[in-house]
Amino acid sequence: MNFIDKSDIRTLFSRAMSTMYRSEVPKYGTLLEMVDEVNKSTLTHDPALKQLLSETDNLSRISEERHGAIRLGKPEELHTMRRLFAVMDMHPVGYYDLSIAHMPVHSVGFRPIDHDALKKNPFRIFTSLLRVDLISDPTVQKIVNRAMASRHIFSNNTMALIVLSEKQNGLTEQQAKEFVNEIIEIFRWHDKAIVTLPDYHLLTSAHPLAADIASFNGPHINHLTPRTLDIDRVQAMMPERNINPKAVIEGPPKRHAPILLRQTSFKALEEPVFFPTSGGQYEPGMHRARFGEIEQRGIALTEAGRKLYDILTEKVRQKIVPTVDGSNAKEYNDTLKKIFLDFPDSVNILREKQFIYLEYYPTQKGLDASTDVLKKHNIDSLIIENFISYAPMTYEDFLPVSAAGIFSSNLGEKESERIKTHSDQPEFEKALGRKTLDPFVLYAKQQQDSLLKTLKRLKIQ
């Protein structure tokens, strides 16, 4: 049988999700237009960036790049979702404990991990699982458990196609199209709740995330995120297009050598929904969950680089935390910028300190040189003599504090109870059905593979 490349299934899925979300949330379409406009302008005015992206095969992925986010309500859903994403070569990377920001969820990022798969389409889904144990009110716990007990989000045909893919280790083109058509329905918006309006208010008072997860018949996609090359420009443009952005950009400050991930969003929409009554009818209400987000991806940091980043981030948070209403936005941004002066802002210095991951490739000078000449050098001198060049590796993952900041600004986190911090990765992985992958190991392997490939092309390995 002729199986379609799993990356092509992922592309079918990401495009179908984007089309669906654009029809459901028109402002997302406006975001896409702004991001496209800014990216084209950035590449026009920065030929060096365009050349770098082209040389490292990163240029074509920019326009396709998205990440989405979903929230699941019970362990069984996470287990099946892991199998579903595996059909598209998306694997669980990292563990994100959002209880550090008083949110009753923990999360993982499903994404491709192979170098070529990332270049084809790096679509990611940030997937959170509700932690009922972090909700202190036993009445609310009962509401959640009752709602989740009756919820089944995967159709029989979806399950059959997952099993078929696992058995065959792939899907034909027709099977893949059928699979995408089926699973899109899982992430579609539902305007009819499965809990009563009084129960919804109790869920909301415990935490808006609990209400969003437990009140509906499926894990509707709550945002899709295109990648921009200049997030500050898009942030400034949003009000010009009648979009109200959150007050501050999450993540590190603007830098010459951008690191990790910067994110911003527009405020979540308040949408009409209908709640079941005891008489078998529905009564109207409102729910706020879905929003638009943009991101600017920077360089992947090594464990040493990430340690410094986390230290500086905590220093910022000890001095100031951005308010949901944005009243201290300027003070926060000034503090962030000042404290991050301690993080080197040069790719060369970051490489010397081994703070970043790199992809290596041979230069034309290296390819033209004789093997005898090349063998006289070590790696550092091959770089100094311009036989080998390198480019920073793109950060493919997420930041828990940033994710929490996005959620808070959109869902009004301050209105809910303050849950206790309690990480539980073993329980999450038990639900998942496997251990999550360590992103540092993945980046290190990608760096080493690129170096070995380069040395092989230079015929000195």
The per-residue pLDDT for range 315-344, each reduced to its tens digit, is 998 998 888 777 898 999 999 999 999 999
431 neighbors 424 (Cβ within 8 angstroms): no
Question: Across 254-328, where does the E strand assignment appear?
Answer: 261-265, 270-276, 282-288, 293-297
pTM equals 0.91
Which residues make Cβ contacts (< 8 Å) with residue 103, sequence separation at least 6? 207, 209, 404, 407, 413, 419
Domain that holds residue 166: 6-300+393-423
Tell whether 342 is covered by a domain. no
> Quick one: residue 386, left, alpha or beta (phi over 0 = left, psi -120 to 50 = alpha)?
left
Question: To which residue do tokens 């949901």 refer?
Answer: 324
Tell whether 382 is covered by a domain. no
Question: How many domains does the chain contain in total?
Answer: 1
Helix (H) or strand (E) holding 75: helix 75-86
Q: Say how many residues make up the chain.
A: 461
Tell whether 450 is covered by a domain. no
Tell whether 285 is covered by a domain. yes
Question: In this predicted structure, what is the pLDDT of residue 51?
Answer: 78
Domain CATH code at residue 261 = 3.10.180.80
Tell whether 447 is covered by a domain. no
Residues of the chain with pLDDT under 50: 413-417
Rounded Cα distance, 251 and 265, in Å? 13
Question: To which residue do tokens 């790719």 refer?
Answer: 347
Rounded Cα distance, 251 and 261, in Å? 6
Tell whether 307 is covered by a domain. no
Tell whether 381 is covered by a domain. no
Tell whether 458 is covered by a domain. no
Question: In this predicted structure, what is the pLDDT of residue 403?
Answer: 63
What is the number of alpha carbons within 13 Å of residue 445 lying toward its C-beta? 9
The per-residue pLDDT for range 218-277, each reduced to its tens digit, is 999 988 888 899 999 999 998 888 888 888 899 999 999 999 999 988 777 788 999 999
